[in-house]
Amino acid sequence: MINILRGLLVVLCCAAGMVAAEEKNIMVTSGSDRATPIAVVPFGWQGGNVLPEDMSEIISNDLRNSGYYSPIPKQNMISLPTSASEVIYRDWKALGAQYLMVGSIVPSGGRLQIQYALFNVATEQQVLTGNVSGTTDQLRDMAHFIADQSFEKLTGIKGAFSTRMLYVTAERFSENNTRFTLQRSDYDGARAVTLLQSREPILSPRFAPDGKRIAYVSFEQKRPRIFVQHIDTGRREQITNFEGLNGAPAWSPDGNKLAFVLSKDGNPEIYVMNLASRQLSRVTNDGAIDTEPFFGKDGSTLYFTSDRGGKPQIYKTSVGGGGAERVTFIGNYNANPKLSADEKTLVMIHRQEGFTNFKVAVQDLQRGSVKILTDSNLDESPTVAPNGTMVIYATRQQGRGVLMLVSINGRVRLPLPTAQGEVREPSWSPYLN
């Protein structure tokens, strides 16, 4: 799927000359620390039929995806305890595990009762125990819940494994016949459901902070327009209908406003709309292309991409307008800004000086250091987990658009299972519980 805004910026980037910048930042190429070994033992199952989901595998994958933990393979496990009384600590010390999780699943009255416990192997102490119940169809939900509880207990960071993801697929059947589909799935790509289908492009889907609404750009009127859709009912309303470009919607933290890009006055600029009153205010006013707004958590600051310095870089400004402050200085292209929940880390699409490849990178906003997270070369549309530990982005593999997940510390990088066709435009949900 063609990203119009980015295309405009790339053209400008190629045409413009180099601009001297404050080289006050430093580039970090990789980390040297290692993830903590953890063993999630297959949960005991006292029913007859084989369960459709492996809870221990889902929990292991969740903890691995965070970049904090390195699950021990099942085939390496010496014993398979399902309760605290069966744990033999020397088995897990021999494997180098620092933490151990065991659990059991018991059918009861048409539901499943799950007991689980987490242990510190070194101290031989139980650090977490709990239970959860649900139907067979809720096995993934319960596994994500257990992973969330465990991750928060061990790290002090709220788990984000029960969140959801939006993305767009494009299936081309012939030269003039392409179907675009807006999908919602678990954060890891599982259980995708269709929210919207169109014969025209769908761009920039974004979850509202309440997780109940989404904003996106649709070309169903043969030109870009922004819509807001209610997830549960499918009801939607058109938000913009201006001449020219209508794109890149971004929600304010309270969900009452949308920032977006309009070219109704001739140049792409950033505007903010109060959704209740539909009052529109212009934020930027510059001869350059200003695009890809993203609200700071205070709701009064906007980060955005602009080529006002000669090449695309990230700036920030007050929602009320005024002067803009440049944020990025390393590389000849920095765009599509996203912030971690604590606003200490800026996630962006980055290109180093002397290179042509676009990669996902993070900048420490306190220290100014920049670290490249990916090893692909056509990355775009990064979206950050609400706890700031993981990033999902679009890239290409074997000539096809796919989604990838990378941990913010760079330890984990893997493709996500998604539907057929070109996959683009991922967007992470907020916490949903």
pLDDT at 24: 38
- Work out whether the CA dihedral 219, 404, 327, 294 comes out positive or negative: positive
- Which of these, 287, 391, 405, lies nearest to 348 by C-alpha position? 391
User: Band of the pLDDT at 1, cuts 50, 70, 90?
Assistant: very low
Q: What is the pLDDT of residues 169-223, one digit of tens each?
A: 999 888 888 999 999 999 999 999 999 999 999 999 999 999 999 999 999 999 9
The structure tokens listed for 244 are: 């020219």
Q: Is 63 within 8 Å of 39 (Cβ atoms)? A: no
Query: What digits encode the pLDDT tens for the residues 125-154?
Result: 999 999 999 999 999 999 999 999 999 999
Residue 144 and residue 61: Cα distance in Å, rounded? 10
Question: Beta strands of 319-416 (E only): which ranges?
Answer: 325-326, 333-339, 345-351, 359-364, 370-372, 380-384, 390-397, 400-407, 413-415
- Cβ within 8 Å of residue 345, ≥6 positions away: 339, 362, 363, 364, 365, 388, 408
* CB contact set of 75 (below 8 Å; sequence gap of 6+): none
Q: Where do the domains of the chain lie, and which CATH numbers do they carry? A: 4-30+163-428 (2.120.10.30), 36-155 (3.40.50.10070)
The answer on pLDDT for 2 being more than 70 is no
CA of residue 364 relative to chain centroid, distance = 18
Biggest CA-to-CA distance, the chain: 71
Q: What tens digit of pLDDT does each residue of 354-369 get?
A: 888 999 999 999 999 9
Q: Which two tokens stand for residue 94?
A: 């021999």
- The contacts of residue 122 (CB under 8 Å, 6+ apart) are 93, 98
pLDDT in tens, 304-359: 999 999 999 999 999 998 889 999 999 999 999 999 988 999 999 999 988 889 99
CA distance 262 to 321: 15
∠ CA(342), CA(348), CA(353), 5° rounding?
135
Q: List pLDDT tens digits, range 368-387.
A: 999 999 988 899 999 999 99
Token pair belonging to 175: 């030269």
Question: How many Cβ atoms are within 10 Å of 240's Cβ, its own excluded?
Answer: 21
Please report which confidence band the pLDDT of residue 10 belongs to, taking 50, 70 and 90 as the band edges. Answer: very low
Long-range pairs for 7-11 at CB < 8 Å and ≥24 separation?
Answer: 8/268, 8/289, 8/291, 9/289, 9/291, 9/305, 9/307, 9/312, 9/333, 9/335, 10/333
Q: Which residues pair with 325 in a beta bridge?
A: 316
Supply the DSSP symbol for 141.
H
Query: What phi, psi does 232 have (nearest 5°)?
Result: -65, -40
Rounded Cα distance between 413 and 334, Å, is 21
Which residues on adjacent β-strands are paired with residue 377?
none
Question: Which position has the higher pLDDT, 429 or 12?
Answer: 429
